[in-house]
């Protein structure tokens, strides 16, 4: 239990696996009420059941972050169930690595829809509530690929993550004061994200690279650290990677 986290209502997208699931479990154990959004409800229900069995509080909403109404329903459910929303974690993401000349246009569009529009839809759903209550915390999951373009094959993915950083910094300028904004930029983490590429050569490269991956729980602890800061402290960016990772 954490006094700084206990009683907070935290909404998490992409919560059915990976960083989202690990963060939900960790924050639930620290006393937060967590509201889990993802497309795969069976996994969400299993995670929520584990949290509640351990004495925590959790709610589940089937959510496709590419649909604005779904994200709005996720936030509205948090307020209807727990009376407020303190933190929104925009975590859902897709990493489809491939060289540009492979012309994976459908995957480019999917990454833009999930990695950029999904974040914007989360902001649109939560910001009016944060404004009304005079407090709130956006935590947007980016990547080290939002600081350096992944090569080879990561041009579009990196572009979406650079966008997350730019949107987050603009958001901070517009709403800073009572509302906090944090960007979490992980390196190689052991999640399903590494399996998003349909390009065989890129997928093989990622499989080899991800042998150095760190556990998702590492990122969950970083998220908790950002939330635990005093209200007057806005921890704007956390970059974490395996010690063996060279970029």
Q: How far apart are CA 190 and CA 211, in angstroms?
A: 9
What residue spans define the domains of the chain? 9-94+115-143+161-186+215-240
Q: Residue 242 pLDDT more than 90? A: yes
DSSP bridge partners of 111: none
Residue 55's alpha-carbon distances to 37, 46, 159, in angstroms, are 20, 15, 41
Q: Residues 195-222: pLDDT tens digits?
A: 778 878 887 888 888 899 999 999 999 9
pLDDT for 1 equals 63
CATH class of the 9-94+115-143+161-186+215-240 domain in this structure: alpha beta
This prediction has a pTM of 0.95
The sign of the torsion formed by the CA atoms of 67, 68, 73, 78 equals positive
CB proximity list for 233: less than 8 A, separation 6 or greater: none
Catalytic residue IDs: 157
**Nearest CA to 87 among 222, 223, 238?**
223
Model confidence over 95-125: pLDDT tens digits?
999 999 999 999 999 999 999 999 999 999 9
What are the E-state strand segments in 57-131? 57-62, 87-90
Helix axis angle for 216-228 and 18-29, nearest 10°, is: 50
What is the rounded average pLDDT for all residues in the chain? Answer: 95
pLDDT at residue 96, rounded to an integer: 94
- The CA dihedral of 147, 222, 88, 118, to the nearest 10 degrees, is 30
């Amino acid at each position: 239990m954490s006094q700084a986290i206990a009683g907070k209502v935290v909404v998490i997208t992409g919560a059915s696996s990976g960083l989202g699931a690990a963060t939900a479990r960790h924050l639930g154990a620290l006393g937060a009420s967590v509201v889990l959004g993802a497309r795969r409800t069976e996994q969400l229900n299993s995670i929520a059941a584990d949290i509640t069995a351990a004495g925590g509080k959790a709610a589940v909403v089937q959510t496709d972050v590419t649909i604005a109404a779904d994200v709005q329903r996720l936030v509205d459910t948090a307020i209807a169930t727990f009376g407020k929303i303190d933190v929104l974690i925009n975590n859902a993401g897709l990493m489809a690595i491939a060289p540009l000349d492979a012309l994976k246009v459908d995957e480019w569009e999917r990454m833009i829809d999930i990695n950029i529009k999904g974040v914007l839809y989360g902001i649109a759903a939560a910001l009016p509530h944060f404004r009304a209550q005079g407090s709130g915390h956006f935590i947007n999951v980016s990547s080290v690929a939002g600081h350096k373009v992944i090569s080879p094959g990561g041009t579009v993915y990196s572009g979406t993550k650079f966008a997350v950083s730019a949107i987050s910094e603009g958001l901070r300028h517009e709403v800073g004061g009572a509302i906090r904004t944090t960007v979490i930029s992980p390196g190689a983490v052991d999640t399903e994200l590494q399996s998003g590429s349909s390009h065989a050569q890129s997928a093989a490269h990622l499989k080899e690279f991800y042998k150095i991956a760190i556990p998702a729980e590492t990122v969950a602890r970083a998220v908790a650290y950002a939330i635990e800061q005093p209200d007057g402290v806005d921890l704007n960016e956390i970059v974490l990677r395996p010690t063996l990772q060279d970029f």
